[in-house]
Amino acid sequence: MADNTYLVVGLGNIGYEYEHSRHNVGFDVLDYFVEKYSSSFKQDRYALRADVKIKNKLFICIKPTTYMNLSGKAVNYWLKILEIPLSNIIVIYDDLELPLGKIRIKAKGSAGTHKGLGNIIETLKTEQIPRMRIGIDNDFLPGQQIDYVLEKWPIDQWEKITKVFPVASDAIYTWAFEGIDKAMNKYNNILVA
């Protein structure tokens, strides 16, 4: 595939019980992006896939169906099929270390405590993976992290996080058309919610 093909990966867990949970914010951002450009997801290998064409660029958007902790399997498969460089992939996921509504784009780095990104790094054997972290805050008691991330958003927080989706969608566009440095400069200091 040509350099004008991009793989946009939203991380989350498949299934009704996980819909609109904090851990699925990567799915929610991707849903917004795909709907904005009038496409839709269809079942494909290891993922739900939607193709979005903007100007001269093709965005292959995937929501892995492997469950969060095995996200690397889906990403590795699609990276090989598309034959694109790592710089043409971006992974979108939730981050407990960022306040609600904060976006943080980076070109590389460790996974921190995020098991989904950790599995992608482990599978691809590199930390050189562009990513967009979406802040979900960390308002939970010790030992309650899993319950917190898998919990559906309370109404007031859902109203705030949905304001992040159009901004994150614009950030995907900026990343592809203007480069990751421009995207970082433009979006990393914004607190949306």
User: Which positions are catalytic?
Assistant: 23
Which residues are CB-neighbours of 140 under 8 A, at least 6 positions away? Answer: 147, 148
Distances (CA, A) of 53 to 2, 39, 84, 107, 126: 14, 9, 16, 23, 28
Distances (CA, A) of 11 to 31, 55, 145, 186: 11, 26, 17, 23
